Amino acid sequence: MKRIISDLPHDRYRERTVLVRVDFNVPLDHGRIREDYRLRQAIPTIEYLSQRGAKVILASHLGKPKGKVVPALSLKPVADRLGQILRVPTVKFVEAAVGESVKQTLTTLKPGEVLLLENLRFEPGEEANDPVFAKQLAALAEIYVNDAFGTMHRAHASTYGAAQLFTDRLAGFLVRKEMDVLSQVRDRPVRPFRVVVGGIKIKDKLSALKALLPKADTILLGGGIAYTFLAAQGVATGDSPVEPEFIPWAKDVLAQYRKHILLPEDHVIAANAEQRDRLQLVHREIPAGFMGLDIGRDTSLTFAHELLQGTGTIFWNGPLGAFEVDECADGTVDIARAMALAHWRGAFTVVGGGDTVAAVRKAEVLETEISHVSTGGGASLKFIGGEELPGIAVLSEQSQ
């Protein structure tokens, strides 16, 4: 059984050094944190350990520096922000993830204090799950905690190799919350259970779709993935991003679950994503030379109407159009607002996916207007799909 930090006796943390893998992969804009949701979600675990007298080491990645030091991807701005939002005596920062400077700073760390390490991915050993780097990380602390839900699907040194070297490996409160909410949605949804899936790449959504199709009362499909289903029905899709290798599967799904699936009936189209001044609205068929960039207004209304029937559970992953282009964001914005209204009326609403969460913000729907905004993109979909996440599996591996 996987254990969480509150399963250890309180006094076990006193004066112990605890390595906490967090997911502080936040959007930065010239050193300014544009959005600190992931930092706030990690507060309960950090303060819990600090209040029990632990010396707390925080380790995270940020962006994709690919094993090199990229100053623009330093975690220093995150340390400054943590200093403002955490109720702990001090937040220190060290410009390395392992090595002499880290050891030196650790000797000055007092119980209750917090030390943030530099971006783990400045080290080539992190993503390679290099045993030497894992050992260096593990040597820093006596207890290991993973609260980085968004990184659980990666077997990296900080999420896997280092974890294996600790006797005490525990999940943090955020990981537990994400697992509780997502397993409730997957296994025990209050009905009616509605699922909205958009975005691109069916492959990324496959396990989640397979797990949710038999359970959902309705599945609303939009965004890039919907065109594969339309093509499977023989509807003309023009130059829309159809994935031919999934057409046979889509046919099977439609044969089995047709009554439960809603597909777009109209589309916002253009010759390509750059032609935003020449958008057109078409019903049903997309002519050759055009691609679907958003669901149309009728589809939006049908989808929103469906989401507002009854107060059960709604899970949403994947934007319904190329929402980054303002002119192609209407469908996604309409659905985000329908989700907010459904929540206000009492539905349990869950949103997962990096781009989907960004789309919800673009729609100006607040965190408080959604029951649970998952910090995990790929991780939340894989969890819903019942795939094993290495970061979670390694916490259960221990022989206790």
Q: Active-site residue numbers?
A: 38, 201, 354, 378
Minimum Å gap between C-beta 235 and Mg ion is 26
Q: Is 111 in the site for ligand ADP (CB under 6 A)?
A: no
Q: Is 331 in the site for ligand ADP (CB under 6 A)?
A: no
Residue with smaller CB distance to ligand ADP, 65 or 198? 198
**Span from 4-12, 125-133, 208-216, 352-360 in contact with Mg ion (CB under 5 A):** 352-360
Q: How far is CA 218 from CA 122, 261, 280, 288, in A?
A: 44, 6, 28, 30
Q: Is 392 in the site for ligand ADP (CB under 6 A)?
A: no
Q: How far is CA 80 from CA 31, 77, 90, 97, in A?
A: 11, 5, 11, 17
Identify the CA nearest to 359 among candidates 183, 234, 237, 196: 196
CA atoms within 13 A on the CB side of 160: 18
Residue corresponding to tokens 């991003």: 241
Residue corresponding to tokens 């925080």: 58
Query: Could you say which of 223, 238, 296, 376 contacts ligand ADP (CB under 6 A)?
Result: 223
Q: Which residues pair with 33 in a beta bridge?
A: 28
Q: Is 27 in the site for Mg ion (CB under 5 A)?
A: no
Q: Is 355 in the site for ligand ADP (CB under 6 A)?
A: yes
**Span from 30-38, 44-52, 179-187, 352-360 in contact with ligand ADP (CB under 6 A):** 352-360
The one of ligand ADP, Mg ion, none whose footprint includes residue 223, by CB under 5 to 8 A per kind, is ligand ADP
**Angle, vertex CA 235, rays to CA 217 and CA 276, nearest 5:** 95
| Cβ-based neighbour number of residue 225 at 10 Å | 24
CA–CA distance, 221 with 215 (Å, rounded to integer): 15
CA–CA distance, 290 with 281 (Å, rounded to integer): 11
How many chain residues touch ligand ADP (CB under 6 A)? Answer: 22
Contact 229, 347 (CB under 8 A): no
Q: Is 202 in the site for ligand ADP (CB under 6 A)?
A: no
Q: Is 363 in the site for ligand ADP (CB under 6 A)?
A: no
Binding string, residues 115-154; x marks residues near ligand ADP by CB under 6 A: ----------------------------------------
The one of ligand ADP, Mg ion, none whose footprint includes residue 25, by CB under 5 to 8 A per kind, is none
Q: Is 354 in the site for Mg ion (CB under 5 A)?
A: yes
Tell how strand 291-295 and strand 114-117 pair up.
Answer: unpaired
Minimum Å gap between C-beta 312 and ligand ADP is 22
**Span from 152-160, 174-182, 193-201, 361-369 in contact with ligand ADP (CB under 6 A):** 193-201
Q: How far is CA 385 from CA 203, 215, 224, 290, 381, in A?
A: 12, 12, 20, 33, 6
Classified as helix, coil or strand, 158 is helix
Q: Is 292 in the site for ligand ADP (CB under 6 A)?
A: yes
Query: Could you say which of 189, 264, 353, 391 contacts ligand ADP (CB under 6 A)?
Result: 353
> Would you tell me which residues interact with ligand ADP (CB under 6 A)?
198-201, 204, 223-224, 241, 292-293, 317-319, 321-324, 353-356, 377
Interface residues with Mg ion (CB under 5 A) are: 354-355
